[in-house]
A and B are shown apart, each in its own frame.
Chain A
């Protein structure tokens, strides 16, 4: 791309075809096109409808517990020994992660479209819990597809979903993780599209999902912009978020993207290292291709088959990434890097012991990178990290990985 970021209108994407530059679009079976068109129309109307937006804002305030805190991590800052580190506390939301912002919004859309059943996929279980929660709030039946491997790694979340009245269907195909859960949810939707809405959990999938999820998650970045102005008297110098499918990062970055001078860094799951199969970092190591209905960076072999990927964190264990991230990467507006399992695990403990905040293993990837970046910057600079979720769900898995059980 010849144009520099300042020439690009980042607010103008996606276009009418659902493209973010050359990324995005709709690569789905014909059966789904009508539902996607209906969803887009319903969403575009809802976006302009004051009553809908008021209801969404009220739920974010009273049900989710927003705005989420903008927390100065004093001892973490001292440890890094450089720029000041601030945490955007999505872990304090109802259900403990950013996922609820999107599920509340999409549940309202489900009701608006008069669909009577909800399906979802989940990796770490956070989106499953958030979907089950929003569905319980409005009395909608909910089926959550979850890879068998993730059911094992994230069993507390499975129990929570069941208590909330959701049906959890373990997925035994393929790699038995998030990617296969999305395949199964898509298949369900192909057969039930007339009365079912698919609440996808990240900024992935065919248009209009990446746009809808980004918009509902943008409350994170909007609050962070306002909180920065209020607390710092200016915008931050650096904003960092972890990227799996990329919904917390998209929500955090989107309001900052048009604001020049704010450096944005997305941190992918570096797993065990850079060899194929050892990580889940398509923006770092992959190339553009088609997966789950969208054209974006993906981990694929020369035959176009999706590669198996690895991350200790179930929420980042995904071979693709949202198309807007690919667009931001290609335009140079956002930098992407990755953080390996070992560093993320260490960051969990560091944040827990420095600040009394146990982060999700996913969010710990961003924390680990923030420590590195802050250390290189002067004390009058500010680094804001999206702490996308809390870490109780990972406690047992972390013990297992350390060989403590």
Chain B
């Protein structure tokens, strides 16, 4: 069992739901990333998801893509992200996973990537462009090292395939709530509740739901049926520079995001 498995199992036994915040590594900088991870840990978030910036992210919407571009323009390197994560790992209880393109994993080497990630205290990875059909090698590497390989199920995934994906997923299953790219949406599809319940019946692996979540009310509704709720763009947007290019001081940004994520944590359903 990885740290993610243990954490979500502990939450389940306590009847708690997990908030899973996402931030981009290095936007605006790695100091902010570290401060935010500590803040999420204080707030009792279930898992923290760190986006590793990639030059050609096809699964991400404009908010996250822009944050990736900003981080890369500042010369961000994967090594630097791991180095900083390794330093704060001993200070936090909450597991950290990375969202990373297979282009980066492949370039580093599958074994080498997992080894370096684990050395940095990272407990798992979401590789959105690595499909279940093509991932035998990565799967073997991750299983041999107890590193969670979190897979995605989407509304367009046929049922038999969704079952296969859910059962092969480790840590949690990432249910994508809407067809399309990451980003905030005002309304979530109605059939989503049933779909999450159905998926959770197919597997013991906890189902967390993301894509398009930005308000406490959505968190409440989704956490009634899902083990966790993932929030990305709504946080990343708060860290983006203003229209004039200015960036608020780090303390303000951290306080702002901490307050927002605190509201989302408060929105988690307490019915189990």
Contact = CB atoms under 8 A, between A and B. Distances in A.
B180 interface: yes
B103 interface: yes
Contacts of A304: 54, 78, 101, 103-108
Contact of B152 (A30, A187, A292, A295): A30
A25 B56 CA distance: 18
B181 interface: yes
Contact of A27 (B66, B129, B151, B176): B129
A27 B58 CA distance: 10
Contacts of A193: 156, 179
A399 interface: no
B82 to A, nearest CB: 12
B77 A303 contact: yes
Contacts of B10: none
Contacts of B57: 183
A30 B165 contact: yes
Interface string B131-152: 1011000000000000000011
Interface residues of A, number: 34
Contact of B58 (A30, A183, A303, A305): A183
A191 interface: yes
Contacts of B101: 290, 304
A31 interface: yes
A403 interface: no
A293 B72 CA distance: 21
Interface string B106-122: 11100000000000000
Interface string A53-93: 00000000000000000000000000000000000000000
Most buried by B among A26, A30, A183, A191: A30
B154 interface: yes
A258 to B, nearest CB: 28
A29 B58 contact: yes
Given A304-B104, A306-B55, A35 B156 contact: yes
B103 A289 contact: yes
Contacts of A17: 133-134
B108 to A, nearest CB: 7
A27 B154 CA distance: 16
Contact of A173 (B59, B65, B131): B65
B102 interface: yes
Given A28-B58, A190-B179, A290 B129 contact: yes
A28 B129 contact: yes
A30 B176 contact: yes
Contact of A26 (B58, B105, B108, B133): B133
Contact of A30 (B105, B107, B131): B131
B188 interface: no
A190 B55 contact: no
B69 interface: yes
Nearest to A288: B106
Interface string A183-214: 10011001111100000000000000000000
Given A35-B156, A191-B180, A29 B59 contact: yes
Most buried by A among B58, B107, B108: B58
A300 interface: yes
Contacts of A305: 54-55, 72, 103-104
A190 B58 contact: yes
Contacts of A291: 56, 103
A70 B15 CA distance: 75
Contacts of B197: none
Given A174-B69, A304-B107, A190 B180 contact: yes
A194 B180 CA distance: 11
B262 interface: no
Interface string B159-200: 001000100000000001001110000000000000000000
A40 to B, nearest CB: 13
B158 interface: yes
A376 interface: no
Contacts of B30: none
B153 interface: yes
Given A30-B154, A31-B156, A304-B103, A292 B56 contact: yes
Contact of B129 (A29, A34, A191): A29
B61 interface: yes
10 closest A-B pairs by CB: A304-B107, A191-B180, A304-B104, A29-B59, A290-B103, A186-B58, A305-B55, A306-B55, A31-B154, A34-B156
Given A304-B107, A305-B104, 19 more contacts: A25-B134, A26-B134, A27-B130, A27-B134, A29-B154, A31-B154, A31-B176, A34-B157, A173-B62, A173-B65, A173-B66, A173-B69, A174-B55, A174-B69, A179-B56, A190-B180, A193-B156, A291-B56, A304-B108
Interface of A: 17, 25-31, 33-35, 173-174, 179, 183, 186-187, 190-194, 289-293, 295, 300, 302-306
18 contacts: A28-B58, A30-B152, A30-B154, A30-B176, A31-B154, A31-B176, A31-B179, A31-B180, A34-B156, A34-B157, A174-B55, A174-B56, A183-B56, A183-B57, A190-B180, A290-B103, A304-B78, A305-B54
